Amino acid sequence: MSKADAGQTGSVPHREAGHWDELAWVERDLFRDPDGGIYEPAQSRSGEYREAHVVMSRGCDWGCHFCTEAIIRAPGELRRSAHDVIEELAWLVGQSYVQRIHFVDDNVFPQIAVSSRRETEALTWTTEFLDGVTKMREGGGLDLGWRGIMRFEDFLKYEERVDGWLEKLAGSGCKLLAFGVESGEEVRRWHLKGGAVTNEQIEGIIRRLAEVGILSKGYFIIGGPDEDAATAGRTIDFARDAGFHLAYFALYKQFRAFVEVSRKLDDGRERGSERETHRRKYATFEQLREDFGALILDCRTSTEAENAFGYPYSSRRLEEAHRAMHDLRKAGFAFRGLFKYNDFHSDMDVHEEHAEVWTSGREGRTRGFLRTVRRAYFEFYARDAFVDIYRRLTKAGY
């Protein structure tokens, strides 16, 4: 009897990766969407492929300053065996006719660059995984593809250590790799997440991936301590110009600072009145509910552009934006499919040392911040070049 039929239940008693292999795989058809339909396998945007999400690991050994993973899931990454992952993929292909896999790990491959101690283990796991998926594709004549996220530092280390790294990725069916870029400014990126990757190295990685047919996605952050329209603008420019096929602009939130403040208040290291304690432990967030497509199409003049996006775009640039949005809509593109973490501090104009995410400026925090967020999506998506990119993405099964 297979793990899929075993109906095993229970929790992992210790933080040891090996216990994962003893557990049953997720019965995906148990989960339903709000309309009652099966949540997944789901259709790709083009409708040509069936996609499922797979988790191979949890936790992270990197210590990005904006992320709670390193302090909540200490002491670091745990990972299923490559053999167990390959077996689950074979089951998904055979039983659910899945053709596209989205790995939702913080790092699709073991984090080889963060510690030399685990290099041999990381290389062994990655080789077994890539070889296993490649054999599945070649042996069954399958159009099986996958996507995931990793760090640039790890990518460079694998490229250095694994012969034919790019070709092995492409041969295993990798369709898209995503990376947490966060900032277009190297110094700011170093402060946010450590590491030492340069903009030139990033551009080189994206170019080499494209040469073997692998698309790329960049995750960027708008906001953060000392962030203003100028620093965010350099991030927006880099996202557009570095060669990424997709860009996601997350809205900065000081979750890690709130966790640390909460712990100090809970264990008595810091004290205050009930009202003061509540104010310091929690922040008020508001969902950013805007139809970016309609906002772009409704913008007709440079004055309207500056009011909406903080920049007086020319009539020629606005014409390109309108043309691109019309073409994207015909291709089935919608901004609502991009957003996940688009809530923001609704009390941004009130100074909170542990919640500050935007330098005030002459516009005030909230207005300046929102105009810059809109500009990010305008610059990357409302352009002729992205229309062709989107067609490539959907053809690849995104």
Residue pLDDT, tens place only, 382-391: 999 999 999 9
pLDDT in tens, 192-209: 888 789 999 999 999 999
Mean pLDDT, rounded, for 139-157 = 92
Q: Which helix (H) or strand (E) holds 385?
A: helix 384-396
The residues pairing with 150 across neighbouring beta strands, listed in sequence order, are 179
Average pLDDT over residues 37-60: 88
Q: Quote the CA–CA distance of 35 and 336 in Å, as a whole number.
A: 18
- Contact 357/372 with Cβ under 8 angstroms? no
| Confidence at 187, pLDDT banded by 50, 70, 90 | very high
Half-sphere exposure of 278 (CA within 13 A, CB side): 4
Q: Which two tokens stand for residue 390?
A: 């989107």
pLDDT tens for 360-372 read 777 788 889 999 9
Helix (H, G, I), strand (E, B) or coil at 344: strand
CA 274 to chain centre: 37
Per residue in 228-272, pLDDT tens?
Answer: 999 999 999 999 999 999 999 999 887 777 777 777 767 767 666
Q: What percent of the chain has pLDDT over 70?
A: 86
Containing 174, the helix (H) or strand (E) segment is: strand 174-182
